[in-house]
Amino acid sequence: MLLIIPAVLVISLMLAFNLPVLYESAKLAAAESSETQQTALVRPFLAATLLLGGVIPAWLLTHEPAFCIFVLLLGCAAYIDWITQWVPDPLIFMLSWAALGALLPGEADALMIFAGAAAMLLPAVLLNVITWLRSQPPALASGDLYVLPALGAWLTPEWAGLSFLASLFFTAIVGRFIRGVPFITVLYPVFMVVMLCRNW
């Protein structure tokens, strides 16, 4: 436990100070199709709060290193999404591999893992189809859609669907006061509360 806190603090500081450089290089590489022209800010306290706020409770209640690594990656995605409204593809892929790598080996009923992933993803896809039929911009960005199955894999289908709906509800409420609320940043604490309540 004593090594977890300094390790997560070092990772959060590296994330906070290196994100602006990474974001600028990614923005330049995608300048033709980029819609955002914001600048990434350095927020080490926010990074440490998001990462420690997930990893410490995850470790104290589960003592599962694979889950803690997944939570650390998810916290990084939540921080990056908050600061830049963008989540890098390698981080999205790492989340998926961390979930599948932790859950599938030794699991007798892999169908429940995929059912949880589907229960988290299908309502989001349906919501985006509805907005597309109404000629509106998509309700959820593609990065959000890619992250959802990785989170749903950890949950039963019922809890996955409930987590998605609760996140959507809280995003709508916060979105009335703050413009451009990042969905993954809201989904992160909802997912953590559901997972930790299940393991308490």
Alpha helices in 105-153 (DSSP H): 110-133, 142-152
C-alpha pair distances (Å), 71 with each of 65, 123, 146, 191: 10, 23, 16, 10
Residue 63: how many other CB atoms lie within 10 Å: 11
Calculate what percentage of the chain has a pLDDT beyond 90: 33
The DSSP output letter for 131 is: H
Per-residue pLDDT tens for 4-34?
A: 888 888 888 888 887 777 777 766 665 544 4
Per-residue pLDDT tens for 140-175?
A: 888 888 899 999 999 989 999 999 999 999 988 888
Residue 33: predicted pLDDT: 47
Domain ranges for the chain, please list them: 4-199
SS3 140: coil
Classify residue 151 by burial, with Cβ atoms within 10 Å: 0-12, 13-18, 19+.
Answer: buried
CA distance 111 to 104: 10
Residue 11: how many other CB atoms lie within 10 Å: 18
Mean pLDDT of the chain: 84
Residue 119: predicted pLDDT: 93
> In sequence order, what DSSP letters do the residues of 16-36 get, joined into one string?
HHHHHHHHHHHHHHTTTT---
Residues whose CB falls within 8 Å of the CB of residue 54, separated by 6 or more in sequence, listed in order: 71, 72, 74, 75, 188, 189, 192
Give the tokens for residue 156.
Answer: 């039963």
Global pTM reads: 0.81
94: closest CA among 157, 55, 146?
A: 146
Q: Which long-range contacts (CB under 8 A, 24 or more apart) does 110-113 make?
A: 112/156, 112/157, 113/153
